Amino acid sequence: MRVRRLDAEHDWTFGQGLGNYASQSESVAQRVKSHLRVIGF
């Protein structure tokens, strides 16, 4: 699964080609952090 990298303000990044997509381990961490923000942690 491809996950678009988020910037410091939690917005999607653009303009860097494949550099805008997180590696597998980074994408897992990003998805966990995003989920925790949604549920209020």
Integer angstrom CA distances of residue 11 from 3, 5, 37: 12, 8, 14
> What is the three-class DSSP state of 18?
helix
Instruction: Tell me the per-residue pLDDT of 1-41, one tens digit each, with 9 for 90 and over.
Output: 889 999 999 999 999 999 999 999 999 999 999 999 999 87
pLDDT for position 4: 96
pLDDT at 6: 94
pLDDT at 40: 87
Q: What is the pLDDT of residue 1?
A: 82
pLDDT at position 41, please? 77
pTM of the model: 0.72
